[in-house]
Amino acid sequence: MTRIGMTLWQFLWAVFVICQPLATFSQEMVDPGGNGKIKVFLLAGQSNMDGRGDGSMLTTNDKARLKAVQRRVFFAYNRREIVPLDVTVPQPWIASKFNLNLTFGPELFFGLSVAEAWPDSEVLLIKRSQGGTSLYGCWNPDWSEEKAALMGEEEQPRLYDDLLKYVDEVLSQYDEDEYEIAGMLWVQGEADSNVNKYGPLPAETYGENLRSLIAAIRSNTSIPDLPFFILQVGNGLVVQGMKDAADSLKNVFYIPQSLDTEATNY
Protein backbone atom coordinates (compact mmCIF):
# COMPACT_ATOMS: atom_id res chain seq x y z
CA MET A 1 0.00 0.00 0.00
CA THR A 2 1.26 3.45 -0.86
CA ARG A 3 0.46 6.04 1.76
CA ILE A 4 1.36 9.63 2.54
CA GLY A 5 1.95 10.80 6.12
CA MET A 6 -0.37 13.45 7.55
CA THR A 7 0.32 16.94 8.84
CA LEU A 8 0.73 16.94 12.62
CA TRP A 9 -2.44 17.94 14.44
CA GLN A 10 -4.08 17.76 17.81
CA PHE A 11 -7.61 16.96 18.77
CA LEU A 12 -9.99 16.69 21.70
CA TRP A 13 -12.96 14.36 21.74
CA ALA A 14 -16.12 16.05 22.99
CA VAL A 15 -19.07 13.64 22.78
CA PHE A 16 -19.61 9.91 22.37
CA VAL A 17 -22.86 7.99 22.73
CA ILE A 18 -24.21 4.62 21.64
CA CYS A 19 -27.91 3.84 21.09
CA GLN A 20 -29.41 0.46 20.05
CA PRO A 21 -26.56 0.08 18.81
CA LEU A 22 -26.02 3.53 17.27
CA ALA A 23 -22.55 5.03 17.68
CA THR A 24 -22.20 8.77 17.10
CA PHE A 25 -19.76 11.29 18.39
CA SER A 26 -18.30 14.71 17.73
CA GLN A 27 -14.85 16.10 18.21
CA GLU A 28 -12.85 19.29 18.22
CA MET A 29 -9.60 19.22 16.27
CA VAL A 30 -7.00 21.78 15.36
CA ASP A 31 -7.04 22.39 11.61
CA PRO A 32 -4.04 20.53 10.08
CA GLY A 33 -3.48 23.27 7.58
CA GLY A 34 -4.79 23.96 4.12
CA ASN A 35 -2.31 21.86 2.15
CA GLY A 36 -5.01 20.94 -0.35
CA LYS A 37 -4.85 17.21 0.28
CA ILE A 38 -7.93 15.08 0.86
CA LYS A 39 -8.03 13.87 4.46
CA VAL A 40 -8.71 10.14 4.41
CA PHE A 41 -10.12 8.27 7.41
CA LEU A 42 -10.43 4.49 7.60
CA LEU A 43 -13.47 3.10 9.44
CA ALA A 44 -13.85 -0.54 10.42
CA GLY A 45 -15.76 -2.83 12.72
CA GLN A 46 -18.90 -4.87 13.25
CA SER A 47 -22.60 -3.93 13.52
CA ASN A 48 -22.08 -0.75 15.55
CA MET A 49 -19.77 0.47 12.80
CA ASP A 50 -21.98 -0.87 10.03
CA GLY A 51 -24.72 1.37 11.36
CA ARG A 52 -28.15 0.94 12.88
CA GLY A 53 -28.99 4.62 13.29
CA ASP A 54 -32.47 5.59 12.10
CA GLY A 55 -32.02 8.04 9.26
CA SER A 56 -35.60 9.30 9.66
CA MET A 57 -34.73 10.67 13.11
CA LEU A 58 -32.21 13.24 11.89
CA THR A 59 -33.27 16.71 13.01
CA THR A 60 -33.69 19.72 10.77
CA ASN A 61 -30.41 21.02 12.17
CA ASP A 62 -28.66 17.69 11.46
CA LYS A 63 -29.85 17.80 7.86
CA ALA A 64 -28.74 21.41 7.43
CA ARG A 65 -25.28 20.59 8.79
CA LEU A 66 -25.03 17.62 6.47
CA LYS A 67 -26.11 19.58 3.41
CA ALA A 68 -23.51 22.25 4.19
CA VAL A 69 -20.58 19.81 4.03
CA GLN A 70 -21.68 17.27 1.42
CA ARG A 71 -19.80 19.02 -1.38
CA ARG A 72 -16.49 18.13 0.28
CA VAL A 73 -17.11 14.99 2.37
CA PHE A 74 -17.28 11.69 0.50
CA PHE A 75 -18.12 8.19 1.67
CA ALA A 76 -16.89 4.84 0.36
CA TYR A 77 -18.81 1.99 2.00
CA ASN A 78 -18.33 -1.74 1.49
CA ARG A 79 -17.59 -1.37 -2.22
CA ARG A 80 -20.63 0.72 -3.00
CA GLU A 81 -20.20 3.73 -5.27
CA ILE A 82 -18.36 6.64 -3.65
CA VAL A 83 -20.96 9.27 -2.78
CA PRO A 84 -21.30 12.50 -0.78
CA LEU A 85 -21.75 11.73 2.90
CA ASP A 86 -25.38 10.87 3.62
CA VAL A 87 -27.70 8.32 5.16
CA THR A 88 -27.76 4.97 3.36
CA VAL A 89 -30.28 2.34 2.31
CA PRO A 90 -29.83 -0.68 4.60
CA GLN A 91 -29.64 -4.27 3.46
CA PRO A 92 -33.12 -5.84 3.31
CA TRP A 93 -32.64 -8.02 6.40
CA ILE A 94 -31.45 -5.01 8.43
CA ALA A 95 -34.38 -2.92 7.21
CA SER A 96 -36.77 -5.67 8.27
CA LYS A 97 -35.17 -6.51 11.62
CA PHE A 98 -34.77 -2.91 12.80
CA ASN A 99 -37.70 -1.38 10.87
CA LEU A 100 -35.44 1.06 9.05
CA ASN A 101 -35.82 2.60 5.60
CA LEU A 102 -32.69 4.75 5.91
CA THR A 103 -29.76 4.22 8.23
CA PHE A 104 -26.34 5.54 9.17
CA GLY A 105 -23.31 4.63 11.27
CA PRO A 106 -20.62 6.61 13.12
CA GLU A 107 -19.40 8.02 9.80
CA LEU A 108 -22.25 10.52 9.66
CA PHE A 109 -21.50 12.66 12.70
CA PHE A 110 -17.79 11.86 12.50
CA GLY A 111 -17.72 13.23 8.96
CA LEU A 112 -19.78 16.25 9.95
CA SER A 113 -17.48 17.05 12.86
CA VAL A 114 -14.28 16.66 10.86
CA ALA A 115 -15.62 18.82 8.05
CA GLU A 116 -16.78 21.53 10.42
CA ALA A 117 -13.45 21.48 12.27
CA TRP A 118 -11.49 21.56 8.99
CA PRO A 119 -13.54 23.94 6.81
CA ASP A 120 -10.86 24.19 4.13
CA SER A 121 -10.35 20.43 3.66
CA GLU A 122 -11.98 17.70 1.62
CA VAL A 123 -12.61 14.48 3.53
CA LEU A 124 -12.90 10.88 2.33
CA LEU A 125 -14.27 8.21 4.66
CA ILE A 126 -13.55 4.60 3.68
CA LYS A 127 -15.64 2.11 5.65
CA ARG A 128 -15.37 -1.68 5.69
CA SER A 129 -17.80 -3.22 8.16
CA GLN A 130 -19.56 -6.49 8.79
CA GLY A 131 -21.95 -7.31 11.60
CA GLY A 132 -21.23 -10.05 14.11
CA THR A 133 -17.51 -10.32 13.35
CA SER A 134 -14.66 -10.60 15.85
CA LEU A 135 -11.20 -9.19 16.30
CA TYR A 136 -9.99 -12.59 17.48
CA GLY A 137 -11.05 -14.15 14.16
CA CYS A 138 -12.03 -12.17 11.03
CA TRP A 139 -10.33 -8.88 11.85
CA ASN A 140 -7.13 -10.36 13.27
CA PRO A 141 -4.01 -9.34 11.32
CA ASP A 142 -2.54 -12.61 12.64
CA TRP A 143 -5.45 -14.65 11.25
CA SER A 144 -5.37 -18.40 11.55
CA GLU A 145 -7.87 -21.11 10.73
CA GLU A 146 -7.88 -22.17 14.37
CA LYS A 147 -8.78 -18.65 15.57
CA ALA A 148 -11.48 -18.29 12.95
CA ALA A 149 -12.93 -21.68 13.88
CA LEU A 150 -13.20 -20.73 17.55
CA MET A 151 -15.44 -17.80 16.51
CA GLY A 152 -17.38 -19.79 13.91
CA GLU A 153 -15.90 -17.58 11.18
CA GLU A 154 -14.25 -20.16 8.92
CA GLU A 155 -16.44 -19.08 6.01
CA GLN A 156 -16.15 -15.35 6.68
CA PRO A 157 -13.66 -13.18 4.76
CA ARG A 158 -10.35 -12.23 6.34
CA LEU A 159 -11.56 -8.74 7.03
CA TYR A 160 -8.27 -7.09 7.94
CA ASP A 161 -6.78 -8.16 4.61
CA ASP A 162 -9.98 -7.14 2.84
CA LEU A 163 -9.89 -3.71 4.48
CA LEU A 164 -6.39 -3.13 3.09
CA LYS A 165 -7.49 -4.31 -0.34
CA TYR A 166 -10.55 -2.08 -0.29
CA VAL A 167 -8.58 0.98 0.78
CA ASP A 168 -6.17 0.37 -2.10
CA GLU A 169 -9.09 0.00 -4.51
CA VAL A 170 -10.58 3.32 -3.43
CA LEU A 171 -7.33 5.27 -3.33
CA SER A 172 -6.23 3.94 -6.71
CA GLN A 173 -8.80 6.37 -8.14
CA TYR A 174 -6.70 9.29 -6.87
CA ASP A 175 -3.18 10.48 -7.52
CA GLU A 176 -0.87 9.74 -4.60
CA ASP A 177 -0.19 13.41 -4.00
CA GLU A 178 -3.93 14.19 -3.75
CA TYR A 179 -4.56 12.61 -0.34
CA GLU A 180 -3.14 11.76 3.05
CA ILE A 181 -4.43 9.24 5.56
CA ALA A 182 -5.44 11.11 8.70
CA GLY A 183 -6.63 8.40 11.07
CA MET A 184 -8.61 5.23 11.72
CA LEU A 185 -11.84 4.75 13.63
CA TRP A 186 -12.52 1.31 15.18
CA VAL A 187 -15.96 0.24 16.43
CA GLN A 188 -15.96 -3.43 17.43
CA GLY A 189 -15.96 -5.55 20.58
CA GLU A 190 -19.30 -7.23 21.14
CA ALA A 191 -18.42 -10.57 19.55
CA ASP A 192 -15.19 -10.92 21.55
CA SER A 193 -17.08 -9.99 24.74
CA ASN A 194 -19.43 -12.97 24.41
CA VAL A 195 -17.62 -15.36 26.77
CA ASN A 196 -20.72 -17.54 27.15
CA LYS A 197 -20.65 -18.38 23.44
CA TYR A 198 -16.94 -18.30 22.60
CA GLY A 199 -15.18 -18.85 25.90
CA PRO A 200 -12.78 -16.49 27.69
CA LEU A 201 -9.88 -16.44 25.22
CA PRO A 202 -11.13 -13.76 22.76
CA ALA A 203 -11.89 -11.38 25.64
CA GLU A 204 -8.68 -12.15 27.52
CA THR A 205 -6.55 -11.47 24.42
CA TYR A 206 -8.54 -8.50 23.09
CA GLY A 207 -6.04 -5.89 24.27
CA GLU A 208 -3.15 -7.80 22.71
CA ASN A 209 -5.05 -8.30 19.46
CA LEU A 210 -6.08 -4.64 19.37
CA ARG A 211 -2.48 -3.51 19.77
CA SER A 212 -1.53 -5.88 16.94
CA LEU A 213 -4.25 -4.35 14.77
CA ILE A 214 -3.01 -0.83 15.47
CA ALA A 215 0.59 -1.82 14.75
CA ALA A 216 -0.41 -3.56 11.54
CA ILE A 217 -2.47 -0.66 10.17
CA ARG A 218 0.30 1.79 11.02
CA SER A 219 2.84 -0.43 9.30
CA ASN A 220 0.69 -0.89 6.21
CA THR A 221 0.00 2.82 5.91
CA SER A 222 3.64 3.69 6.67
CA ILE A 223 2.46 6.17 9.32
CA PRO A 224 4.02 5.11 12.66
CA ASP A 225 1.88 7.46 14.77
CA LEU A 226 -1.34 7.29 12.78
CA PRO A 227 -4.14 8.48 15.08
CA PHE A 228 -6.36 5.55 16.05
CA PHE A 229 -9.74 6.05 17.71
CA ILE A 230 -11.49 3.30 19.68
CA LEU A 231 -15.19 3.63 20.44
CA GLN A 232 -16.32 1.63 23.44
CA VAL A 233 -18.54 -1.33 22.65
CA GLY A 234 -18.60 -4.67 24.42
CA ASN A 235 -17.82 -5.19 28.07
CA GLY A 236 -15.45 -6.66 30.64
CA LEU A 237 -11.95 -7.54 29.51
CA VAL A 238 -12.65 -6.24 26.02
CA VAL A 239 -13.27 -2.74 27.31
CA GLN A 240 -10.27 -3.02 29.60
CA GLY A 241 -8.17 -4.01 26.58
CA MET A 242 -9.35 -0.88 24.77
CA LYS A 243 -8.38 1.31 27.71
CA ASP A 244 -4.98 -0.39 28.05
CA ALA A 245 -4.23 0.14 24.36
CA ALA A 246 -5.08 3.83 24.63
CA ASP A 247 -2.99 4.19 27.78
CA SER A 248 0.06 2.41 26.38
CA LEU A 249 0.24 3.63 22.78
CA LYS A 250 0.88 7.08 21.35
CA ASN A 251 -1.98 8.73 19.44
CA VAL A 252 -4.48 6.05 20.44
CA PHE A 253 -7.71 7.41 21.90
CA TYR A 254 -10.47 5.62 23.82
CA ILE A 255 -13.94 7.16 23.66
CA PRO A 256 -16.20 5.87 26.47
CA GLN A 257 -19.85 5.06 25.95
CA SER A 258 -22.40 7.34 27.56
CA LEU A 259 -24.74 5.51 29.91
CA ASP A 260 -26.96 8.55 30.52
CA THR A 261 -30.34 7.55 29.10
CA GLU A 262 -31.71 10.99 29.92
CA ALA A 263 -29.18 12.79 27.72
CA THR A 264 -30.68 14.58 24.73
CA ASN A 265 -28.06 12.99 22.44
CA TYR A 266 -28.65 9.42 23.64
Q: Does 250 map to a domain?
A: yes
Q: Does 113 map to a domain?
A: yes
SS3 of residue 104 by DSSP: strand
Report d(CA 209, CA 190) in Å as an integer.
14
pLDDT at 11 over 90: no
Q: Does 119 map to a domain?
A: yes
Q: Does 265 map to a domain?
A: no
Instruction: Identify the CATH number of the domain in which residue 41 sits.
Output: 3.40.50.1110
Higher pLDDT, 26 or 73: 73
**Alpha helices (H) in 92-158, listed in sequence order:** 92-98, 107-117, 145-150
pLDDT, tens digit (0-9, with 9 covering 90-100), for 26-59: 343 455 556 789 999 999 999 989 888 899 999 9
Judged on CB neighbours under 10 Å (0-12, 13-18, 19+), 85 is: buried
CB 185 within 8 A of CB 232: no
Q: How many domains does the chain divide into?
A: 1
Query: What pTM was estimated for this model as a whole?
Result: 0.86
Neighbour count for residue 113 (Cβ, 10 Å): 22
Residue ranges making up the domain that contains 97: 11-255
Q: Does 262 map to a domain?
A: no
CB 192 within 8 A of CB 134: yes
Considering Cα of 16, then 31, then 186, then 252, what sign does the dihedral take?
Answer: negative
Q: Does 77 map to a domain?
A: yes
pLDDT at 6 over 80: no
pLDDT, tens digit (0-9, with 9 covering 90-100), for 121-176: 999 999 999 999 999 999 999 999 999 999 999 999 999 999 999 999 999 999 99
Neighbour count for residue 196 (Cβ, 10 Å): 6
Q: Does 264 map to a domain?
A: no
Q: Does 100 map to a domain?
A: yes
